C-alpha cells in the first residue's frame, strides 16, 4: 500500500512539473535570463510556480507537524542540525550552478526521461555519477572543512 501511495504522489508531482513547464530546460533558463537586454527572453512564470509550491509546502508542514506521527511511519524524520556549515553552503551552490548551466534540477530531469529526452538522460546519468562519487567520498571520511 505504501509503495502505491508513493507512486501516486510521485505521479502527481511529475504531472505538476509537466503542466507548469518545469520539465522544459528552456523555460528554466529563460527565467534565469535577467540580462535586461531589449527583446530578451525573461519568463517570470517560474517565480509563480515556486511561490505556489512554497505556499502549499508551508501550509502542509504546518498541518502535518501538528500530528504526533506521520500516517505511514512511526515518527517524523526531521534533522536536528541547526548550524550553518560548509556542507550546507556547498551543496546548494553546486545545485544552483548545475541548474543554471543546464536548466534541469533532479525532479524535472527524471520527469523528462518519460519524454525520451537525450539531454534529460545525460543529466540524470551525470547526476547519478555525482551522487555516487559524493557517497564514495563521504564513506571514506571526506567532508568539506567547517565554515
pLDDT tens track for 6-24: 899 888 988 888 888 888 8
Supply the pTM of this predicted model.
Answer: 0.66
- What span, in angstroms and rounded, lies between the C-alpha atoms of 3 and 62? 25
Task: Write out the residue range of the structural domain in which residue 30 sits.
Answer: 2-139
Question: 55 near 67, Cβ under 8 Å?
Answer: no
Overall domain count for the chain? 1
Residue 32 is given by DSSP the state T
In a domain, 106, yes or no: yes
Q: What is the pLDDT of residues 33-71, one digit of tens each?
A: 776 666 667 888 888 988 999 999 999 999 999 999 988
In a domain, 144, yes or no: no
In a domain, 119, yes or no: yes
In a domain, 145, yes or no: no
Q: What is the pLDDT of residues 86-118, one digit of tens each?
A: 888 888 898 888 888 888 888 888 888 888 888
| Measured CA distances, 139 to 83, 87, 105, 129, 135 (Å) | 22, 15, 25, 15, 6
End-to-end Cα, the chain, rounded Å: 43
Amino acid at each position: 500500500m505504501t509503495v502505491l501511495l508513493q507512486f501516486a504522489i510521485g505521479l502527481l508531482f511529475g504531472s505538476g512539473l509537466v503542466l507548469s513547464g518545469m520539465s522544459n530546460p528552456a523555460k528554466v533558463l529563460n527565467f534565469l535570463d535577467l540580462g535586461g537586454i531589449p527583446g530578451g527572453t525573461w519568463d517570470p512564470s517560474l517565480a509563480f510556480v515556486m511561490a505556489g509550491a512554497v505556499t502549499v509546502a508551508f501550509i502542509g508542514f504546518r498541518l502535518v507537524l501538528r500530528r504526533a506521527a506521520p500516517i505511514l511511519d512511526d515518527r517524523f524524520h526531521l534533522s536536528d542540525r541547526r548550524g550553518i556549515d560548509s556542507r550546507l553552503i556547498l551543496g546548494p551552490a553546486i545545485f544552483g550552478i548545475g541548474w543554471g548551466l543546464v536548466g534541469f534540477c533532479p525532479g524535472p530531469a527524471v520527469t523528462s526521461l518519460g519524454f525520451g529526452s537525450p539531454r534529460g538522460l545525460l543529466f540524470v546519468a551525470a547526476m547519478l555519477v555525482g551522487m555516487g562519487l559524493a557517497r564514495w567520498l563521504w564513506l571514506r571520511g571526506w567532508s568539506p572543512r567547517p565554515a
